[in-house]
Amino acid sequence: MRVASLGPLLGLLALMIVATLLNHDFLTVSNLSNVLTRAAFSGIIAVGMTFVIVSGGIDLSVGSMAALIAGSMILIMNALSTALGPGVLTIVLGMLAALVIGGLAGLFHGAVITRGRIEPFIVTLGTLGIYRAVLTYLAQGGAISLDSAVGDRYGPVYYGSMLGIPIPILVFTAVALLGGLILNRTRYGRYVQAIGSNEQVARFAAINVAGVKTMTYVLLGVCVGLATILYVPRLGSATPSTGLLWELEAIAAVIIGGTALRGGSGRIWGTVVGAVLLVTIENVLNLTNIISVYLNAAVTGFVIIGVAFFQRGRR
Amino acid sequence: MPTDAMTERLSTGSAIRFDGISKSFGDIEVLHDVTFDVQGGSIHALLGENGAGKSTLMKVLGGYHAPTRGRVVLDSTPVIFRSSRDAEAQGIVLIHQEFNLAEDLTVAQNIYLGHELGGALLDDAAMRRGALDVLARLEVRLDPGTRVRDLAVPMKQLVEIARALSRDARVLIMDEPTAALTPHETATLFALMRRLREDGVTILYISHKLDEVKAVTNRVTVLRDGEVVATADTAALSTTQMANLMVGRELEAMFPPRNAPGREELLGVDGLDVPGWSRDVSFTLSRGEILGFAGLVGAGRTESIEGLIGLRPHRVRGVRVRGRAVRLRSPADAARAGVVYLSEDRKGKGLHVNLGLRPNLTLMTLEHYARPLLDTRAEDTALTRAAQTFGIRTGRLDVPASSLSGGNQQKLALAKILEVHPEVVILDEPTRGVDVGAKQEIYALVGDLARQGKGVVVISSELPELLGLCHRLLVMHEGHVVGDLDAAGLTEQDVIQYATGLRGRTNGAGRGEHVPA
């Protein structure tokens, strides 16, 4: 039981050892920092997703939501840039807008799921289509590009670093620590686990089930906003393929990390390991030529099924 | 299957002999050496209180449980059933208390489920004809193409029976088949049962409704605590004698002494309606009083209380807690007003069995431990204290609740709701699935609560428990309060007469047969 719960971490270490043996470039600071930076986007979303899944829900829309937030944020920043100039204020307001849009999208999900009593799978399958279609419409099928003057000031959010550590990694770390604290050490986190473990018992124990569940989607929406804020300066544009399949990466990270898909129990550190593991697989395939990098998704798929196989007896 | 063999079977219902049947689940033996005979082609009633072992015994006969000891003898041949399919092959069909119908399939598809006609392709026309035939035998007018989901509950019951008949049942086991039926539908069912008996079918009939047992059965076997206490001709027993046989044990020492309740009203409920379950339920509860809710399964006791604390849609004229009018829209409102409820469904609604003891105990009072991060050390202190106060026995405290015994789980669940320091404690079947020792502890705890000046409501299907524990009993029958009785000097027979509608106020569709007090 104890060892089994360390499974994802042991898997990651094993993969890293194999990777180092195959290519010594793997263990360089620049490569590891590259891996972690890439893991930050899906990882931050996956931390939010952990709350949703532990409470017994699911959100399939996060990739589309990220695309819509990216497009909207760029449009807002461009508009503010003409009015206020390409300064810090423009960027901060744009970022705030991203977080608010994410939170509102989550609020919408939560309200429809709890008040409207519709399965979260169905609600977010619907919004998955809606968000991306709206972005595609806003972009008229092409790309929404960030004003280059704003882009220059905004760039450091992705490319910059503090104490030698890239900003996305720092933000990812902070989100993971905060998420772990909330899930394990606050009333709210306890309620999330109680609802996912047995919603009826929670209801009978006078817990505001609808409110707590709605809040998980809001938290996830804010996490998507945050991930998008970090991601946009990388390319400086939003297209209909922005954030494609992020929902699968995020859900896979949560499941690989040992959170039960049916809810009730979960752990943030596992989700972090899951997110890093997924990016590491891709990285290893890139660095070595044993398996074609085109088969990346297949390898990931086998890993997900394999992890589920080893964890099936735990509950 | 050759057709003439089937006809022959139908003409001779099987005689059944239960020969020294014992059945244990884990360490608990629920049937002890049950021995009796059922005559072929008769209707044989099985009586007993909840938990007496009736359903378990019928599941042994139906092939769902294997007996731990003893055997079933069918027409003087001992039989061993590995599954319900084996039993059905011998013509023994159990009609469950809960429906076993695939809601999205049609009536005909359900009747033939698992026994479909046709080869590689299904012969829908033949199944439709067969379904029509069997429904005609039941004198039920119903299109076999109707989806079961669209049927009312009594119709579903009749489809269950039709399904059993289509299996050429020689032995039909009916577990409270009239629980969901109106008097008229019940009469139709009884006429059918009599016809089946004439066709030679043996029927085993479980019911709590003694007047129905009196009306339709030939013989009666009474079980109590997993043992046979009597088998007799129905004609030789009055309903009162049946009730006496069902109960009749002395558990006086089990119960704590009762102090006189105070005068202050803690809870007043006026005109509570829970649609589909109860009408115009009113009662009061005083400080230090233990009020029992008696009634048969389905009388609407649990549903009324769930309505009261906002877990079900309901209407109510007024609710007063300590004289103050309150509106209880959710369990959170109720807890704030000082009213807590422990569900009868411990695993489904009472406890998070997958979570540890600590999160279970403090779930309703987490605000005391949030500073703002949860102080798990304080929670552990509370758990240690609660384990001591409530006698929760476990080797370690850092285990999931599922690893506790039923009695200890129940004590943990009680501890959880009492953490709120409520004024009114409502306990639904507080001793269900709990061994005798834990029962006594729970009774003592209820007595303590009353002595501390709290008001306690106990819903229970065990009459000795209600009579031994409570000051006053409210008896419900078909959604109405039919009796508000002082427990002093009250007998179980009195209560059963109220609960079965033989006595007391019967509003609405009463059955019109009243026994004078």
φ/ψ (deg, to 5) at A144: -105, 115
β-pair type (B16-25, B28-38): antiparallel
Identify the pLDDT of residue B98. Answer: 64
- Residue B351 sits at the chain A interface (C-beta within 8 Å): yes
| pLDDT tens for each residue of A248-297 | 999 999 998 988 888 888 899 999 999 999 999 888 888 887 788 788 88
The secondary structure element, H or E, covering residue B46 is strand B43-47
* B355 close contact with A: CB closer than 8 A: yes
DSSP tag of B13: P
- Show the low-confidence residues of chain A (pLDDT under 70): 1-5, 311-315
Cβ–Cβ < 8 Å for B474, B283: yes
> What's the gap between Cα B222 and its chain centre?
17
CA distances, B392 to each of B342, B385, B408, B410, B431 (Å): 17, 10, 5, 9, 15
**Residues B310 and B330: beta-carbon distance below 8 Å:** yes
Question: Would you place residue B52 in the very low, low, confident or very high pLDDT band (cuts 50, 70, 90)?
Answer: confident
Tell me the chain A residues in contact with residue B335 when contact means C-beta distances shorter than 8 Å: 206
Using a CB–CB cutoff of 8 Å, tell me whether A1 touches chain B: no
In the predicted model, is pLDDT for residue B153 greater than 80?
Answer: no
- Does the distance separating the beta carbons of B349 and A201 come in below 8 Å? yes
Q: Which chain A residue's Cα is nearest to B346? A: A201
Read off the tokens for B333.
């409102």
**Treating both helix axes as pointing N-terminal to C-terminal, what angle do A187-197 and A29-54 enclose, rounded to 10 degrees?**
70
The answer to whether residue A29 neighbours chain B at the CB level (below 8 Å) is: no
Residue B28 to residue B225: CA distance in whole angstroms: 12
pLDDT value of position B117: 83
* Confidence at residue B506, expressed as pLDDT on a 0 to 100 scale: 47
Residue B298: how many other CB atoms lie within 10 Å: 16
pLDDT band, very low/low/confident/very high, at B514 (cuts 50, 70, 90) = very low
Amino acid at B166: S
Contact indicator for A221, A61 with CB cutoff of 8 Å: no
Nearest to A201 among B351, B372, B373 (CB): B351
Burial letters A205-226, b for 16+ CB under 10 A, else e: bbbbbbebbbbbbbbbbbbbbb
CB B255: neighbour CB atoms within 10 A?
A: 19
Output the six-digit token pair for A178. 């905060």
Identify each DSSP E strand in B339-450 by its residue range. 339-342, 424-428
Interval B406-415 mean pLDDT: 90
Distance CA(B14)–CA(B39), nearest Å, equals 8
What pLDDT is recorded for position A92? 93
User: How far is residue A287's CA from residue B344's CA, in Å, rounded to a whole number?
Assistant: 60
Whether B508 shows a pLDDT value over 70: the answer reads: no
- Residue A3 confidence (pLDDT): 55
- Rounded distance between C-alpha atoms, residue A237 and residue A65, angstroms: 15
Contact B87, B62 (CB under 8 A): yes
pLDDT for the residue numbered B254: 73
Q: Is B343 on the interface with A (CB under 8 A)?
A: yes
Touching check for B406 and chain A: CB below 8 Å?
Answer: no
- pLDDT, greater one: B150 or A241: A241
A and B: number of Cβ contacts within 8 A: 69
pLDDT at B13: 61
A186 Cβ under 8 Å from any chain B Cβ: yes
What are the φ and ψ backbone dihedral angles of A297, each rounded to 5 degrees? -65, -35
CB B355 to CB A207 under 8 A? no
Within 8 A by CB and 6+ apart from B46, the residues are B54, B57, B58, B204, B205, B206, B220, B221, B223
Determine contact: B214 vs chain A, CB below 8 A. no
Enclosing H/E stretch for A109? helix A88-114
Residue B417 pLDDT exceeds 90: yes
- B366 reaches A (C-beta below 8 A): yes
Average pLDDT score over residue span B149-159: 79
- Nearest Cβ partner of B348 from A200, A205, A208? A200
8 A C-beta contact, residue B458 and residue B434: no
Of B14, B79, B72, which is closest to residue B44 (Cα–Cα)? B14
| The pLDDT of residue B49 | 72
On average, the pLDDT of chain B sits at 84
Supply the DSSP string of A15-53, one letter for each residue. Answer: HHHHHHHH-GGGGSHHHHHHHHHHHHHHHHHHHHHHHHH
Task: List the structure tokens of B255.
Answer: 């119960």
Q: What is the pLDDT of residue B1?
A: 40
| CA–CA gap between residue B267 and residue B318 (Å, rounded) | 11
| C-alpha pair distances (Å), B284 with each of A307, B261, B280, B318 | 57, 12, 13, 12
Length of chain A, in residues: 315
Q: Which residues of chain B does A205 touch, with a Cβ-Cβ cutoff of 8 Å?
A: 331, 363-364, 416
Confidence (pLDDT) at B169: 84
Residues of B in contact with A203 (CB under 8 A): 311, 331, 349
CB atoms within 10 A of CB A297: 12
Q: Is the pLDDT of residue B509 over 50?
A: no
Q: Indicate which of B349, B379, B412 best probes the interface with A, i.e. most A CBs within 10 Å of its own CB.
A: B349
Distance of alpha carbon A146 from alpha carbon A238, whole angstroms:
8
SS percent in chain B: helix, strand, coil, step 5: 35, 25, 40
- Name the pLDDT band for B454 (thresholds 50, 70, 90): very high
A189, A202, A236, A198: which is closest to A47 by C-alpha? A189
3-state secondary structure of B307: helix
Q: What is the pLDDT of residues B274-324, one digit of tens each?
A: 998 899 999 999 999 999 999 877 788 999 999 999 999 999 999 999 989
Which residues of B fall within a CB distance of 8 Å from A192?
Answer: none
Query: Mean of the pLDDT values across residues B465-484?
Result: 91
**pLDDT value for B3:** 42
The number of C-alpha atoms within 13 Å of B448 and in the hemisphere containing its C-beta is: 10
Residues of B in contact with A190 (CB under 8 A): 359, 363, 366, 374
- pLDDT higher than 90, residue B114: no
CB atoms B363 and A264 under 8 Å: no
